[in-house]
Amino acid sequence: MRASIRTKLERLAERYEEVGRMLGDPSISGKSGQFRDLSMEYSRIEPVVQKYRRFRALELEAREAEAMAAADDAAMREMAEDEVRALRATIDTEERDLELSLIPKDSRDDSNIYVEIRAGAGGDEAAIFAGDLFRMYSRYADRRGWTVEVLSENRGEHGGYREIISRFVGRGAFARLKFESGTHRVQRVPATEAQGRIHTSTCTVAILPELAEVEDVPIADADLKVDTYRASGAGGQHVNKTDSAVRMTHLPTGIVVECQDERSQHKNRSRALSLLKAKLLAAAREKQEATQAAARRLQVGTGDRSERIRTYNFPQGRLTDHRVELTLYKLDDVIGGDLDEVIDPLQREYQAEQLAALSE
């Protein structure tokens, strides 16, 4: 274990003992606010300290077994060497788990999310690719037991979407998909290409966590312009006669959101306002994180679209994630919603960066 990580754990263990003594102090137990704060801190750090204690006990066992392995008796030495190997394997696993427990939890990880997919360069083929990406994420959501709600869509002339905004509802949605923000590039032969030439098109994806009640963003009425119009999607006579769709413009930033999924104007207004708040919070966080992430290869949660993050090469059946130098020849599986082999390496890279920051 790195010395800097061990030092942090030792300090955390000392703090755990200190807080435990303070909680037993009658002068503090009578102060409800201070007692509550200390109790919460104690509960938060207790699991990490207990893991560290188990880790140190394993290290002691390993040292004792290593001492036995130096014995003259051959049978005793062989038995001790087997024990050392088993203990070292357990220690490696426990060390990894212990280090990960030090990484601060992202309070947004369990949030529902808004998924925005927009066609970029490539015309009709980009719109078709946007449709492929939406189906990919929808199938992944289905595998995880999430639900998908389409908030607004602008269909392409030959299929797919110029733009589609949806809401994914399910525990851990942001944790799993927050690395998908960025430019996705596709290389394939379009159905309309008579000479069989490979075309390159792009789409941008943005993943925004839905705001919790406690994370509400205040918006002054004077800063908000609300327009209503008739929804353009399916819906029969109701859609043709009622201005149920809502477009909101946040005047100070120029951010525009639309919602036409619900038949009720009131519900569309509420959903659009929620999406607008999520965008404003994401913009504020992006600005704050930009300087911290400037030197990092993996742009986590910033929605940076300045360069491609992933290439989908259909002729070769190859997917490449350029942030972690990941190449998979399982493109059909990935497009079919099997995203875990793509997402897991990104999460491991993020964890490695967080641990490196802890060591500094």
- Which amino acid, 268? N
Please list the pLDDT of the chain residue by residue as tens digits (360 residues): 777 778 888 888 999 899 888 888 888 877 778 888 888 888 888 988 999 999 999 999 999 888 888 877 788 888 888 888 999 999 988 988 888 788 877 888 888 999 999 999 888 899 999 999 999 999 999 999 999 999 999 999 889 999 999 999 999 999 999 999 989 999 998 876 767 788 899 999 989 888 765 456 788 888 899 988 877 654 444 444 567 889 999 998 899 999 887 678 888 888 888 888 888 888 877 775 654 444 333 433 333 334 689 999 999 999 999 988 899 999 999 999 999 999 999 988 888 888 777 766
Going across the sheet that includes 255-259, the strands are 224-229, 245-250, 255-259
Helices and strands in the chain: count of H runs, count of E runs: 10, 11
Bridge partners (DSSP) of residue 328 are 319
Q: Contact 120/204 with Cβ under 8 angstroms?
A: yes
Domains of the chain from N-terminus onward: 3-102 (1.20.58), 113-216+285-359 (3.30.70.1660)
DSSP H/E element including 328: strand 326-328
Strand extents, DSSP E, 120-273: 147-155, 161-169, 182-188, 199-209, 224-229, 245-250, 255-259
Q: Name the one residue in this structure whose structure tokens are 């002068």.
A: 27
Return the half-sphere exposure (C-beta side, CA atoms, 13 A cut-off) of residue 244: 21
Q: Angle at Cα 126 formed by Cα 125 and Cα 128, nearest 5°?
A: 65
Q: Which residue has the tokens 């525009």?
A: 256
Residue 74 burial (CB count, 10 A): 8
Amino acid at 27: S
